[in-house]
Chain A
């Protein structure tokens, strides 16, 4: 493709968008060549972020700068329309144009930018070959499988040679097996893409497989940002804790006792001050009876909320002063004959609680 060397300095974005009673207010810096995964529950503002970055939604506050060019700055009255932004967008449901062949779909962006039909087509053909779908050039999108269609959509977004690539849950609409194929294809093409890449997902597996850094969105704000290993080891929100399958408690430590926001107590080995405490579900023992004697310093009494069987293990939710999830073997589950609603003691050692400052 073109041999021009653009000074890729990356994305610097402060995005403030008001949508009725929802407000998105996030600041993100993504270096050229970096892949940022945006994780978050539904309605946390992930898709709104991408709409703002692509120009489909003008921001109400803040400023978006890509490779030194201001794309949106309401205070200065600057707004670059979506068609004029060097941004490729891959949507959750490929959104290929049904009335055009796969080849014409990939050529669409070049044609829209005034490239002559023949040049656009030969360039589109190279992109189709690159995603391994050269033989489907003449096929209508309705004839393609979900995975093939998503790869065509990727080629279509890359064909315009964008400086930034936005991917909005590109794997979410695919079945499990296709997802792996497309994930592999994505990894390959994301690796060779020189610009900014932002991947919105609610699946931490995608983030693990594809991203350098993770930003976790909650309620329209960045709850946490960092490398993936950092975020998963030190979750700072209940959402992230649930994603990585662990228990997160927030509270204040004084004299070796953590007091939660709801007034429950945990004995911990930690310095005083406000902390997050992570408790691995495998570290929690469940026991019945009136008053279990144990060397463990923490005995929390509650009732069983739910039981999820996962292979030879079971995750047991315990409602109590501190809601916890414990992971025990199926053997233990059956030996104790646990049922939802049963009273139970959750037992854990102070040394099994990892704490870090808020």
Chain B
């Protein structure tokens, strides 16, 4: 009853435009599902090239997520807790890659950490480390674009948490490090999970920076998104199947976040 009443109150043009928006998001998936080769699905997924790309994507995106946690949580803590001059400029810099076209990010990485890059030449000369066109290059590109998602989620949780819990823990005898591990991190757990999942999903879907910085070599740098793009020209069926896999993953992430972690994060923060 209330539903119908609400809908009746919505101005007609708003309602129509909202419906167009929904259709705009729904129709591409309808098209994809319509053409999906359900019968040969398992066969395509079993192909060597697809399995290699899938395995590479899983490995690199998980390592990128781990790196995002390792460096992103301390960065978020610094941004949230330490009022240094230029704090907001540093935050803007560290989250720039969220809004930057990924290809631009890839170009920037190439000119800095490429073999002839400003820093890359020394990595090569001194440590014999070459990032471009290697699997580590993929990881670097993915970390570059995905870490900001973790940083801003964790930073906002750190800002909003009740710091008096940390005070209480210190009066009980906890050192700063002990309190950080036993009180701060568990308190912002929902944000850590939400930020980690968002970062992982972003790393899994990374395309532009990867292909620019790491290239497109099967087995070492050809991740699922790259394989999809390539397959569209050679074997559209394969592209369809990989797309479906990526869609399924994204959907699962979104639903999981909605149902559990985002609401948990909200509850923890209020």
Contact = CB atoms under 8 A, between A and B. Distances in A.
A95 B175 CA distance: 18
A83 B189 contact: no
A217 interface: no
B98 to A, nearest CB: 30
Contacts of B172: 83, 89, 108-109, 112, 156-157, 160
Contact of B178 (A55, A89, A112, A156): A112
A128 B171 CA distance: 19
Size band of the interface chain B makes with A: 10 to 19
A112 B175 CA distance: 8
Contacts of A112: 169, 172-175, 178, 182
Contacts, number: 69
Given A108-B182, A112-B178, A97 B173 contact: no
Contact of A56 (B162, B165, B171, B178): B171
B182 to A, nearest CB: 7
A90 to B, nearest CB: 9
B171 A97 contact: no
A99 B168 contact: no
Contacts of B178: 83, 112
A108 B170 CA distance: 10
A139 to B, nearest CB: 17
Contacts of A55: 170-171
B165 A160 contact: no
B187 interface: yes
Of the candidates A88, A99, A157, the one having the most CB atoms from chain B within 10 angstroms of its own CB is A99
A143 interface: no
Of the candidates B165, B167, B173, the one having the most CB atoms from chain A within 10 angstroms of its own CB is B173
Contact of B167 (A56, A81, A157): A56
Contacts of A109: 172-174
A108 B189 CA distance: 19
Interface residues of A, number: 27
Contacts of B268: 98
A81 B186 CA distance: 23
B168 A91 contact: yes
A58 B182 CA distance: 24
B183 interface: yes
Given A83-B170, A97-B169, A91 B164 contact: yes
B175 A83 contact: yes
Contact of B171 (A54, A98, A111): A54
Contacts of B175: 81, 83, 112
Interface in B97-118: none
A55 B168 CA distance: 11
A113 interface: yes
Interface in A54-91: 54-56, 81-85, 87-89, 91
Contact of A88 (B162, B171, B183, B189): B171
Contacts of B183: 97
Contacts of A97: 165, 168-169, 183, 186-187
Interface string B194-207: 00000000000000
Nearest to B172: A109
Contacts of A111: 182
Contacts of B170: 55-56, 81-83
B169 A99 contact: no
A109 B174 CA distance: 7
A163 B169 CA distance: 17
A102 to B, nearest CB: 15
B171 A89 contact: yes
B168 A95 contact: yes
Contacts of A56: 167, 170-171
Given A83-B170, A109-B173, A95 B182 contact: no
A85 B167 CA distance: 13
Nearest to A94: B168
Contact of A89 (B162, B168, B182, B186): B168
B184 to A, nearest CB: 11
Of the candidates B171, B175, B183, B189, the one having the most CB atoms from chain A within 10 angstroms of its own CB is B171
Interface string B252-270: 0000000000000000100
Given A98-B268, A112-B169, 4 more contacts: A51-B167, A91-B168, A112-B178, A157-B172
26 contacts: A56-B167, A81-B170, A81-B175, A82-B170, A82-B171, A83-B172, A83-B174, A84-B173, A89-B168, A89-B172, A95-B162, A95-B164, A95-B167, A95-B168, A97-B168, A97-B169, A98-B268, A99-B189, A108-B172, A108-B174, A108-B182, A109-B172, A109-B174, A112-B174, A112-B178, A113-B173
